[in-house]
């Protein structure tokens, strides 16, 4: 039930706060490890090249040596910096961490945020006006972020939506939460759609052929490559089916995964989870419950056969996909 899932996430995010950065302090060149100018997208000079490649390294390690009009694409790897939010909360490099794991979620929601803006994925120094999310603790001189990550207004919106807990049509969620600047622009709206609406349809649509797949919920918007979204499948930071299966486990919503298996079987859609992608913790959990031991060497798990067809049939039909 969506209300239960939303309540669960609200609880996991209880301590999560989002603040706006007032300033960060970093010294050049002393605190710089590496400084490079990212390449421009040849099709759209207002964006970075989708390869993430660099045009040149700034050997002086001083941003003042880069022309002002090029500084938006300057990426810096810092050894140290610190800063304050508009309400005076201290934060520093070294305290930013992969936070959603710590909060009990493995949705990789923060994974997007290295690409939160047009600067590089490793440039974690947030600038004035940007948002950071994290957990606070009491320091000697007042509150400080004990861990944090750079985030976006879409992430802020996502957190507020989940806290309100009200279902919302998936197209509306996508309009608000699709991330055209991110490599995995679908993560936020797919998460909200699952948690608030109990809707697994985006995962079914991944398996449909292009001529059968309905419009993407963000159809009409531009994607990471600057192309208009039509009916492409969703992109998540890792295998979409593993993502759904693990969400089903972490948020204690077995119905989501059950519904997915029933729908795929009803529509005759074959999914290869967990053959593709890494080790799925939800699969492991199901096997452990039956006192089976996952076959880590081949990455082959037995759990899915009872839902669809015999293992022998499946192996025969999908022999090309069997890991060797
Ligand atoms: Zn799984």
Environment class of residue 227 by beta-carbon count within 10 Å: exposed (0-12), middle (13-18) or buried (19+)? exposed
pTM for the predicted model, two decimal places? 0.81
Q: Which pLDDT score is estimated for 105?
A: 64
Residue 300's pLDDT is what? 46
Which of 178, 245, 249 has its CA nearest to residue 8? 249
The pLDDT of residue 155: 87
Tokens in use for 183?
């490599």
Tokens 């022999």 sit on residue: 319
Low-confidence ranges of the chain (pLDDT < 50): 101-102, 113-117, 276-277, 297-308, 322-324
C-alpha of residue 249 to centroid of ligand 1, in Å:
9
Distance CA(149)–CA(99), nearest Å, equals 7
Query: 274 alpha carbon to ligand 1 midpoint, in Å?
Result: 6
Q: Which residues contact 317 (CB under 8 A, 6 or more apart)?
A: 270
Those residues with Cβ within 8 angstroms of residue 170's Cβ, 6 or more apart along the chain or in another chain: 189, 193, 197, 199, 201, 202, 217
Q: Integer distance in angstroms from the first to the last C-alpha of the chain? A: 40
DSSP character at residue 136? E
Q: How far is the CA of 245 from the centre of ligand 1 (A)?
A: 5
Q: Please report the pLDDT score of residue 36 as a whole number.
A: 92
State the DSSP code for 295.
B
CA of residue 121 to ligand 1 center, whole Å: 29
Find the 277 Cα to ligand 1 centroid distance in Å: 10
Distance 273 CA to ligand 1 centre (A): 6
Token digits for 305? Answer: 């056969």
**How many whole angstroms from 316 Cα to the centroid of ligand 1?**
21
Residue 259 C-alpha to ligand 1 middle, in angstroms? 14
247's enclosing H/E stretch is helix 240-250
How many A from CA of 3 to the centre of ligand 1?
24
How many angstroms does the Cα of residue 283 sit away from the middle of ligand 1?
4
Helical H runs in 118-197? 153-164, 170-177, 187-197
Residue identified by tokens 């963000």 is: 218
* pLDDT at residue 291, as a whole number: 65
Q: Which residues are close to ligand 1, an ion, with C-beta < 5 A?
A: 245, 274, 280, 282-283
- Report CA(313)–ligand 1 centroid distance (Å): 20
Q: What's the CA-to-centroid distance between 178 and ligand 1, angstroms?
A: 25
CA of 10 to the centre of ligand 1 (A): 24
Compute the distance from residue 46 Cα to the ligand 1 centre, in Å: 40
């Amino acid at each position: 039930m969506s209300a239960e899932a939303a309540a669960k996430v609200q609880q996991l995010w209880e301590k999560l706060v989002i603040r706006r950065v007032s300033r960060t302090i970093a010294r050049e060149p002393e605190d710089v490890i590496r400084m490079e100018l990212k390449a421009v997208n040849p099709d759209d000079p207002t964006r970075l090249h989708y390869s993430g490649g660099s045009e040149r390294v700034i050997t002086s390690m001083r941003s003042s040596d880069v022309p002002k009009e090029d500084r938006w694409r300057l990426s810096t790897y810092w050894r140290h910096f610190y800063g304050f939010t508009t309400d005076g909360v201290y934060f520093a490099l070294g305290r930013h961490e992969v936070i959603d794991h710590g909060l009990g979620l493995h949705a990789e929601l923060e994974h997007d945020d290295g690409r939160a803006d047009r600067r590089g994925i490793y440039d974690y120094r947030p600038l004035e006006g940007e948002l950071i999310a994290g957990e606070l603790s009491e320091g000697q001189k007042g509150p400080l972020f004990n861990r944090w990550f750079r985030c976006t207004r879409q992430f802020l919106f996502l957190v507020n939506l989940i806290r309100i807990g009200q279902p919302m049509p998936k197209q509306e969620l996508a309009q608000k939460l699709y991330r055209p600047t991110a490599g995995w622009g679908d993560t936020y709206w797919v998460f909200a759609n699952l948690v608030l609406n109990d809707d697994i349809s985006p995962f079914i649509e991944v398996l449909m052929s292009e001529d059968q797949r309905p419009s993407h919920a963000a159809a009409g918007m531009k994607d990471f490559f600057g192309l208009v979204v039509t009916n492409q499948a969703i992109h998540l930071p890792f295998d979409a089916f593993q993502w759904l299966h693990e969400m089903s486990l972490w948020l204690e919503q077995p119905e989501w995964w059950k519904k997915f298996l029933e729908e795929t079987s009803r529509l005759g859609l074959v999914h290869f989870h967990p053959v593709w992608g890494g080790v799925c913790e939800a699969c492991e959990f199901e096997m452990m419950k039956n006192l089976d031991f996952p076959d880590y060497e081949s990455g082959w798990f037995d759990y899915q056969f009872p839902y669809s067809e015999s293992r022998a049939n499946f192996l025969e039909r999908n022999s090309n996909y069997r890991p060797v």
